[in-house]
Amino acid sequence: MAKVKGLRCRECGRDYPLEPIHVCEFCFGPLEVVYDYDQIKSNVSRDKIQKGPPSLWRYLDLLPVDEPSVGLSAGFTPLKRAERLGEALGLRNLYIKDDSVNHPTLSFKDRVVSVALSKAKEFGFDTGACASTGNLANSVASHCAQAGMNCFVFIPANLETQKIIGSLVFEPTVVAVEGTYDDVNRLCSEIASDQGWAFVNINIRPFYAEGSKTLAFEVVEQLGWKAPDAVVVPAASGSLYTKIWKGLKEMKEVGLINEVKTRMYGAQAEGCSPIATAWAEGRDFIKPVRPDTIAKSIAIGNPADGIYALQTAKESGGGWETATDGEIIEAMKLLAETEGIFTETAGGTTVAVLKKLAERGQIDPDELVVVFITGNGYKTLEVLQDEVREPVRISATLKDFKDKVLAKV
Ligand SMILES: *Cc1c(COP(=O)(O)O)cnc(C)c1O
Ligand SMILES: [Zn+2]
């Protein structure tokens, strides 16, 4: 495949062939997909992309897949001008990239899974698997069902009910592990080297991670081929955040845009903020933490891409910030009330961090800002149980309606 050269170790730079492998044999660094940008540049154009399918596969020239076969409808989600949220935050040029309506399982994970499992099919795997904080399990289970693959998903046992049922309905084997996501991940790394399965975020991780770039590609295209001044991105492992940056730089590299001056801001929940804490303390390494937050989808205490996420913040002139559980819930409600978008706790984290950056003047009122909403609020209903008003209960009479409803509004 001419567009992809192979895999390369991020640490020591050793080259590897295009295989389902993810760590360097010499230094244990993570492997990353390397492209032939000259070849891509001669083949890609705005026009060609615009004539492509209304899905993330319109950017196939910049993805490590030959023939997409799984997740053909993922991506190309709305980019919404957020006037009312912008007004509330004092930002005049704010946009929401809304992956809460991604297809088919309502989170950004449908992007990474489409790419990972299409690649896994090309490699000849018949079983898909993952270590998940919830959304990934939903997406892997759905995509294995549509692809007719066997499926095993591993989750921490204390996940939200909606996310557990949202996996079970596709009939995979759901393994609920007593422990944190980091315990699940450690176990899955052992299982991955033991079984011949496509663990999308372990042995297929270099390919999985590339799917996140499509969020950057879409935003740039939807803005009329322009990179934003600043973006706010939620982070668990830090993969999404670093790959949005990679995607922006690639668009410049292959000549689709002339300039990238985007400041990358990362958002974490205060109860699980190993990357943001390292940033605040000026460290270039991560100290793992034990997660304690309602934002379970981004609760990774030992983030695989943490150090690269710190480098990205430095390189782009951005930074990292946190939100408390209370601020997360307030921000979920603010987004719902102003824009009619119901996001989960991860989206609440992102909006809460955006609010802090705006209040502190780290984002200028006229700058072009994009905030990434990566998950859907129907999957974390339980956190709002005591945070929303009760329905007004009445008998089916006009009198009750007038006395108990109209009289009180
Ligand atoms: C997985 C996830 C993220 C970020 O994941 P990374 O591991 O940092 O790539 C963000 N938001 C939601 C809703 C997620 O499920
Ligand atoms: Zn290496």
Going from the first residue of the chain to its last (409 residues), give the mean pLDDT of each consecutive group of 10, the final group possibly shorter: 92 97 98 98 98 98 98 98 98 98 98 98 98 98 98 96 97 98 97 96 98 98 98 98 98 98 98 98 98 97 98 98 98 98 98 98 98 97 95 97 94
Strands (E), 48-134: 79-81, 94-98, 127-131
Nearest CA-CA partner of 103 in 94, 95, 111: 111
326: Cβ–Cβ under 8 A, 6 or more apart, which residues? Answer: none
The token pair that represents 8 in the structure block: 């390369």
Q: Which of 143, 129, 165 shows the shortest CA–CA distance to 70?
A: 143
For the entire predicted model, the pTM comes to 0.97
Within its chain, how far is the Cα of 350 from the centroid? 11
Radius of gyration of the chain (CA): 21
Helix, strand, or coil (residue 44):
coil
Report the length, in residues, of the chain: 409
Please state which architecture CATH assigns to domain 109-205: 3-Layer(aba) Sandwich (3.40)
Ligand nearest to the Cα of 298, by number: 1
On the CB side of 67, CA atoms within 13 Å amount to 5
Distance CA 210, CA 32 (A): 9
The residues with which 125 forms a beta bridge, in sequence order, are none
Tell me how far CA of residue 329 lies from CA of 98, 209, 349, in angstroms.
Answer: 18, 29, 8
CB-neighbour burial class of residue 252 (10 A; exposed 0-12, middle 13-18, buried 19+): middle
Residues 145 and 133: beta-carbon distance below 8 Å: no
Q: Which of 98, 107, 136 to mutate to test the pocket of ligand 1 (most atoms within 8 A of CB)?
A: 107
Instruction: State both tokens at 83.
Output: 């006037």
Ligand 1, pocket residues at CB < 6 Å: 107-109, 135, 234-241, 297-298, 344, 346, 374-375
Q: What confidence score (pLDDT) does residue 36 get?
A: 98
> What is the third-level CATH fold of 79-105+212-384?
Rossmann fold (3.40.50)
For ligand 1, what atom is nearest to the CA of residue 134? 15
* Nearest one of 130, 56, 143, 142 to 97, comparing CA atoms: 56
Reading phi first (left if > 0) and then psi (alpha if -120 to 50, else beta), residue 148 is in left
Q: What is the number of other CB atoms lying within 10 angstroms of the CB of residue 18?
A: 18
Count the neighbouring beta carbons within 10 Å of the beta carbon of residue 215: 27
Which residue's CA is minimally distant from atom 7 of ligand 1?
A: 237
